[in-house]
Structure 1
């Protein structure tokens, strides 16, 4: 048994016949199986075209003792002849031929040829020069892939006057791709309303195709847009801030607002404190020097940086010696509100005042002399002096039953609250767009703005409160209570709020002791 290999893997020419063999197999798409078979199970050709193998042994050259005897195997292919010379002993020789690799195993009875070409892989086995062949031909290799278009990240912080189209155009993204992006779904439409200070990160190819877009709305909220085939998918990403509890205590000297700022509270916390106690305390009328408050509230942090203030957890307000406490509670259904320690809602059916941090310029009186008419005329409401354009809020849920001019009241809104109660807001400079006649409104919703239309000497709000059609003093009328906490949640409420109220007492005692 002789085992020889001929490997053709360089462009060097060793034999003219070897070159012919390589070129023939590189160009051919046939397979050999018992005769010549074509690729994809083609039928064999005639016997005259079948490859044959002729072996002949050349004379031995005795002058070179170390050279083994050679047997020349001639592979006869249709229209061609290729001679391969191999040693007669069991040694292995290698011949370099271009563009192909040939493996040859010989014996007296058979010859095996393995061919690897740039276009095919062929295995052929012969027996006594009668070609019996099994062959596998692989499909032509695909042409080299075109170079990929580079993709890269673009980072941008939105500036005043910039739009999404302007920003993406500067990144090399065309109008068609931008239109496709913003109309992908409702979430991507928000990209057309980007605001200064927000940021965009866009992964796009140099030919203007968007692969991914990240819109950082703020440090906690982001929108991720990813290309999926010929469309885009979106995902909202929300990070949770770390919540730290802090507290503050202040004694009021002039106003709640100034005292709160002096204690280090943000405007947002002061406004929330006023909203919690606004049903029980008229901050324009009831506040006195020496009143005090203690508040425990959350601060929001992310990666060690303070993002801002969170919700008030618990608070106490001492007004004219009367202590009023409130604690935040979320019931098992997810509803959140502020309650007294015994579970009564701090929220009443009506707010005491329709404007924030103003002063009373005229009280309810049945014998007041009118400043313009210069005669005695009952003043059936309360006047709140405020700057022109100050927001006016509905004091309770209800329905707008009048919006328009009303004699000396000027621009007026009247709200009906159920069957018994009605409130009136007069001398407005303008109306809110959501307070049209017939619209239902919520407590605290802005319905108009302070002005001096009608019979008014300066900007102020005239506010009236009617019970069963009778004018009542808004400052003293007993307001209906809101519903207390549900009995089925009472035990849960007490277990969760007692510790918060105890913490509030500890904060107050600590600060008092430090003073």
Structure 2
């Protein structure tokens, strides 16, 4: 103890610290050396790595650990553990600081797509150049990113030092694309979110019109149109509806993060019209083709639409004698007139080929479609034709071919529609329309299993609704 006091008076503090640590090492080593009675083994060896430089001991300031502090350590203290802690603590701190790299904050700039916009104009508003447009479009080729732009969509950019680092194109709540800069250019990632699909039941009675009453039952315009399309081959929703008719259906709703984002398909539906019940079941075959069938496996779809204009009012029916509203002459009216606003879409009643497209006397602008070998349909008084079609073009059932107008001998905007079999005029409202192909024999077992489940679900919903109404 006397020796230590003398050393304190004559040696610098750093030398004293080094001497103290050496004393600890020597003492600890002596304690750990095996005695003559206990043989040493590899597993009993203790290694104590120590670097004065790494521990920062040689550089410690005057307020660091002093020799006097070492004197205060108990003789039985685990010396190696203390030294190891002293030596490695600063290293751990350095490693911790290295791991916490600064985060790069992305500042997104949103640009709304306007009517008439191009990629060049959108990129220009974001502060980018035509060269950026070229580089990005080359990278996204074959992707859905930036393939179709609609007014109201948002394109977001991350731009640092006039360089595009990221671009995000949100096409819908479920689909988006992210374009990211790389060392060699850009890469694109298409992102598709999967919504949770739930089923919902709705029912209603006809008191005013299908649109009004179905809307009161909670159906969207889209769902009402789909319901009308399913039963439109059997029911004319303008001419045939009666008060007291009813409908019920099971359809899909899509949810994302617990929020309703849209509707899916109609799974099954029933419509009671004039006391007759029509039932439709959605079925997708093994080839991926989807359609609606009745419980017997017959297609709800007919070879021809009953009406080529949706929800139009019949202003003049098929008659053998009628006074012409323009000429004032009494003569046969060989078709059905549908009153509708100018520009209302006109659909091809069935699949076929356009054999006439042009002005035809009192018909005005007119289209004639050939269906198979013996049936033709005529659409007259059009305001205009659908672009991209001409004489000889093939059209599908339900495809828009023109728009309602009042060209030719017409007193107001309407569609004059004729249905001819072997050249003879038939009443479009009463002619028996051929069915589309029924369920394929190879699909019948699978269809009947699907139909059984769908009808069971529909009846279960109806029973629950009835019980709820009774309470």
Q: For residues 334-392 of structure 1, give each alpha carbon's deviation from its aligned partner in whole angstroms, at most 9, with x where no partner exists.
A: 11111101111111100100001111111111122222222221111111111111111
1:184 corresponds in structure 2 to 139
Question: What is the distance in 1 between the residues matched to 2:461 and 2:423?
Answer: 47
- Contact (CA 8 Å) 2:370, 2:377: kept in 1 or not? yes
2:261 corresponds in structure 1 to 307
RMSD: 2.2
Asked if 1:399 corresponds to 2:353, the answer is yes
Q: SS at the partner of 1:191?
A: coil
The alignment's TM-score, normalised by the length of structure 1, stands at 0.67
- Contact (CA 8 Å) 1:163, 1:192: kept in 2 or not? no
Change (3 A) 1:392 1:172: closer
Asked if 1:174 corresponds to 2:105, the answer is no
Q: Report the count of equivalent residues.
A: 366
Q: For residues 73-117 of structure 1, give each alpha carbon's deviation from its aligned partner in whole angstroms, at most 9, with x where no partner exists.
A: xxxxxxxxxxxxxxxxxxxxxxxxxxxxxxxxxxxxxxxxxxxxx
Deviation at 1:282, TM superposition (A): 1.1
Asked if 1:468 corresponds to 2:422, the answer is yes
2:205 corresponds in structure 1 to 251
Higher fraction of helix = 2
Deviation at 1:200, TM superposition (A): 3.0
- Contact (CA 8 Å) 1:151, 1:203: kept in 2 or not? no
1:121 corresponds in structure 2 to none
Q: In the alignment, which of 368, 382, 385 is matched to residue 322 of structure 2? A: 368
Q: SS at the partner of 1:310?
A: strand
1:506 corresponds in structure 2 to 460
Asked if 1:427 corresponds to 2:427, the answer is no
Deviation at 1:193, TM superposition (A): 4.9
Deviation at 1:263, TM superposition (A): 0.8
The alignment's TM-score, normalised by the length of structure 2, stands at 0.73
Q: In the alignment, which of 207, 227, 231 is matched to residue 185 of structure 2? A: 231
Change (3 A) 1:372 1:191: same
2:369 corresponds in structure 1 to 415
Deviation at 1:154, TM superposition (A): 2.1
Q: Which moved more, 1:243-252 or 1:226-235?
A: 226-235
- Contact (CA 8 Å) 2:145, 2:190: kept in 1 or not? no
Question: What is the distance in 2 between the residues matched to 1:188 and 1:479?
Answer: 43
Question: What is the distance in 1 between the residues matched to 2:450 and 2:143?
Answer: 41
Higher fraction of strand = 1
Q: SS at the partner of 1:368?
A: strand
Runs of 5+ unmatched residues, structure 2: 1-103
Spell out the pairing of 1:163-312 with structure 2 (5 A cutoff). Answer: 164-169=119-124, 171-187=126-142, 191=146, 193-206=148-161, 208-312=162-266
**Rg comparison, structure with higher value:** 1
Deviation at 1:497, TM superposition (A): 2.1
Change (3 A) 1:466 1:179: same
Question: What is the distance in 2 between the residues matched to 1:313 and 1:295?
Answer: 8
Change (3 A) 1:374 1:301: same
Change (3 A) 1:479 1:447: same
Q: SS at the partner of 1:311?
A: strand
Q: SS at the partner of 1:395?
A: coil
Q: For residues 115-155 of structure 1, give each alpha carbon's deviation from its aligned partner in whole angstroms, at most 9, with x where no partner exists.
A: xxxxxxxxxxxxxxxxxxxxxxxxxxxxxxxxxxx884424
Q: For residues 259-304 of structure 1, give each alpha carbon's deviation from its aligned partner in whole angstroms, at most 9, with x where no partner exists.
A: 1111111000000000000111111211111111001111111001
1:58 corresponds in structure 2 to none
- Contact (CA 8 Å) 1:369, 1:375: kept in 2 or not? yes
Q: For residues 21-58 of structure 1, give each alpha carbon's deviation from its aligned partner in whole angstroms, at most 9, with x where no partner exists.
A: xxxxxxxxxxxxxxxxxxxxxxxxxxxxxxxxxxxxxx
Change (3 A) 1:452 1:233: same
Q: For residues 230-258 of structure 1, give each alpha carbon's deviation from its aligned partner in whole angstroms, at most 9, with x where no partner exists.
A: 33333321111111111111110121111
Question: What is the distance in 2 between the residues matched to 1:440 and 1:458?
Answer: 30
- Contact (CA 8 Å) 2:113, 2:154: kept in 1 or not? no
Q: SS at the partner of 1:264?
A: coil
Change (3 A) 1:193 1:312: closer
1:94 corresponds in structure 2 to none
- Contact (CA 8 Å) 2:143, 2:190: kept in 1 or not? no
Change (3 A) 1:493 1:368: same
